Amino acid sequence: MALTAISIRANAQRAALRACLTSAEEQNSAMLHSDTELSARLRATEAEIRHLSGTRLPDLILALAHPHVPVRGLLDGRFAGSETDRALSAVLEGVAEAITKERIRIDAAAQSTLRGATTTIQALLYQLQTALQGMQHRYDDPVIAQDLLNADFLNEQALRRIQVAAVVCGAWPGLTRQDSYLAELVVGASSRLRGYERVTVLNQLRDPVAVVARAVEPIAITVTELLANALHYSHRELPVTVTLLQGNSGVSVIIDDYGVGMHDDEIKAAMKLLMGNNNLLLTQLGDPPRSGFAAAGQLVRQYGHAVHVEPSPYGGVRAVVYIPGDPLLTLLDETAQPISVMAPLRDRSGPPDRSSSMLPTGSMASTPPATSAPTALAPHHADQFDAAQSVPPPGELPRRRRRKPVSELDDTASRTDSHPRRSPEETGTRWAALQRGTESGRAAAQPETPRSTEGNAQR
C-alpha cells in the first residue's frame, strides 16, 4: 500500500511538472510570436518612413509646382486610418504649408525687385520715345526719317515687353492718356506689334464710343497681348480680324485668327490667367515665361473689363474683350474731337437705332437729353456729358445724359455715313501728298538752305 501511494504521488508530480512545462512553452511561443509581429510592424513602419522621404515628399514638392502630378499614398494599406497614417499625413501637410509660404515670400521679393527695375527702365524708354519723336519732327531727310521710325518701332517693342513684365508684378501701366476712341485704341494697339499690317479692323459701332482716360492704356495693353498671341500662332500670310461691336451695356472687341488653335487644356489654363488671380506666381508662367495673358488678367482684375478665349469658327482662336459701359466708356463729340484718319470709319449698313443707344452707365436712353448749359465737369467728361445727373431710385446706377440732342447726333451720323471708306492705299497716298506739300513749303520758305543728310546714305 505504501508503494502504491508513493507511485500515485510521483505520477501526480510528473503531471504537474509536464503541465508547468507546457504552460511555459506556450508562453514562450506567444512571446516569440509577439516579438515576431512587433518586429514585422516596426519593419513596415520603417518602410513607410523611407517611402515618405524617398517618394511621397518628392511627389509633393513636384505637385506644388505642377498640380497635375499625383502624390502617391501609403506603401502598406494596413496602416490606413491608423495613428501612423495620421502622423505621416501631418508631416506632408506641414511640409506643403512651409514650402508654399516660402515660395510666396521668395516670389514676392522677386516681383518687388523686378517691379522696381522695370519701372525705371520703362521711364527711360518713354524718354527715348519722346526724343525719337522729336527728331522725327526736326529732320526732313527721308533716310533719317526712316531710320528714326525703325528705331522708334524697336523702342516700342522693348517698351511693350517691359510694360507687360511690370504689370504682371503688380505695377500700374505707367502711362496716362486722354479719353480715346475705341477704334483709335485698337489701331494703336496693333501698331505696337510686328506683323501689324496683317490686322484688319472692322468698326461696326453705332456711336462714337470712347474709353475713359484711366482705362485707355490698360485696355490697349490687353488688346495688344491678345493680338500678339493671334499673330504669333498664325501663319505670316494669314490675316487677323478685329471686329468692334456695340451692345446695350457695353462694347466687345472680337479678335479672330486662322492659326493652329488651342487645346481644351490650353484654353482652361489661358482662362485661369485671364481671370486675374491675385496670388499669381512668376514660376507659374513657364520657362521662358509667357506673361501676355497674365498681364491681361491682372488688368482685368484691376479695371473691370473682361476677356474670354474660345476656339474660333475659322479654326484658330477667338478672343473677346468686353468693356462695360459703366464706368469704362464714354461718347465723344466727333466735331470737337475728330477721329484719326488712321482709324477705320464706322461701317453701318442701315440707319442707327438711337432708341437702344448705349450710355456710359450702360442704361438705355428713355428721355431726350437736356439742352441746358452744362456746369463744370471732371476733365475726361467735360466735352461729352451734362454735369447734372438724375437722382436714381434705390438700387439704380446714376445716369449721365448726352449734351447734344439726338437729332444733332443723327445729323452727324448721316454725314459720317456719306463719307466713303478709305483704303490703306488711299490713306498712304494722302500721307505722301501731305509729306510732299510740307517739304515743298519749307523749301519755298528757305530756298538757299541745303538739306543735310546728317552723315546717312541712301540704303
| Grid cell for residue 457 | 546714305
Query: Which of 256, 450, 424, 437 lies closest to 341 in space, CA to CA?
Result: 424
Considering just the CA atoms, what is the radius of gyration of the chain in Å? 37
* Longest CA–CA separation in the chain, Å: 164
Query: Which of 430, 432, 434 lies closest to 442 in space, CA to CA?
Result: 434
Cα atoms found within 13 Å of the Cα of residue 2, Cβ hemisphere only: 0
Q: How far apart (Å, rounded) are the C-alpha atoms in residues 363 and 356? A: 9
| Grid cell for residue 104 | 510666396
Residue 410 has pLDDT above 50, yes or no: no
Tell me the CATH number of domain 179-363+402-412, given options 2.60.120.200, 3.30.565.10, 3.10.520.10, 3.20.10.10: 3.30.565.10
What is this structure's pTM?
Answer: 0.66
Tell me which of 91-95, 368-372, 423-427 is least confident.
Answer: 368-372
Residue 370 has pLDDT above 90, yes or no: no
* Cross-strand pairs, 199: 240
Reported confidence tier of residue 245, pLDDT bands at 50, 70, 90: very high
402 close to 385: Cβ distance less than 8 angstroms: yes
Other C-beta atoms lying within 10 Å of the C-beta of residue 380: 18
- Higher-confidence residue: 211 or 17? 211
Is residue 23 helix, strand or coil? Answer: helix
Is residue 393 helix, strand or coil? Answer: coil
Q: Element (H or E) spanning 100, and its range?
A: helix 83-138
Q: Is 168 exposed, middle or buried (0-12, 13-18, 19+ CB in 10 A)?
A: buried
- Higher-confidence residue: 68 or 123? 123
Q: Which sequence spans correspond to the domains of the chain?
A: 179-363+402-412
Tell me which of 4-13, 232-241, 412-421 is least confident.
Answer: 412-421
pLDDT at 437: 55
Q: How far apart (Å, rounded) are the C-alpha atoms in residues 407 and 397? A: 26
